[in-house]
Structures are given as structure tokens and as C-alpha cells.
Amino acid sequence: MPNISRDEVAHLAKLARLAVTDDELNVFAGQLDQILDAVAKVSEVAADDVPPTSHAVPLTNVFREDVVRPGLTQQQALAGAPAAEEGRFRVPRILGEEQ
């Protein structure tokens, strides 16, 4: 059962450059004891025969399988375009760059 002293709390506060009062040292010592007790209980439960997991329940892939499907030809894709040039969509120039 962990028991952290006021001196240890004061040392930790100094390392963290925290200004703490004498009353806070007592409060923090008690709080840190509770935290360390909780961690110790969790450590007791963790067994070597239980593999570590990232999720409590198994995850399944919800995405569909990739299936190759026929697509549009270049001519079909350009057929609905307002303007095409050299097998590509023609769009208005927006940056004013030289060709």
C-alpha cells in the first residue's frame, strides 16, 4: 500500500516548480496516495495470460470490398463538358499565368 510523504510531495512540487502551501502538501499527499493505490489495484488485476488490447470489443471492417468496375472512357467523360481541348477539360484561367 503506497504511502507518499509530505517531503516527497514537496520534492515533486520543487521539481515541477510549483509553489505549494503546507496545507496543500497534506492534501496532495493524500490525493497522490489514492492515485497510487488505484494504480496498484489495476496492476494486481492485470495478468500475464491476458493479452493487451486497444479495444474492449473486437472491431470489424465496415467498408465494402474493393471491386473493379468499368469506368467511363475519355470520350464519354468529356462528352458532357462545356469545353474540351486536347483530350482534357478546358477551364477558364484563374491565375493569369503565361502559357
Q: Kindly report, residue by residue over 8-48, the tens digit of the pLDDT.
A: 999 999 999 999 999 999 999 999 999 988 888 877 776 77
Q: CATH for 6-43, among 1.10.20, 1.20.120, 1.10.10, 1.20.1070?
A: 1.10.20
Task: Give me 72's grid cell.
Answer: 467511363
CA-to-CA distance for 57 and 88, rounded, in angstroms?
49
Q: What is the rounded distance in angstroms from the CA atom of residue 91 to the CA atom of residue 81?
A: 10
Question: Where do the structural domains in the chain lie, given as residue ranges?
Answer: 6-43
What are 43-70's pLDDT values in tens digits?
A: 777 677 777 777 777 778 778 888 999 9
The answer to whether 6 and 26 are in contact (CB under 8 A) is yes
The mean per-residue pLDDT over the stretch 70-95 comes to 91
Residues with Cβ within 8 Å of 19's Cβ and at least 6 positions away in sequence, in order, are 13
pTM of the model: 0.44
Pairing of strands 84-85, 88-89: antiparallel
Name the pLDDT band for 3 (thresholds 50, 70, 90).
Answer: confident
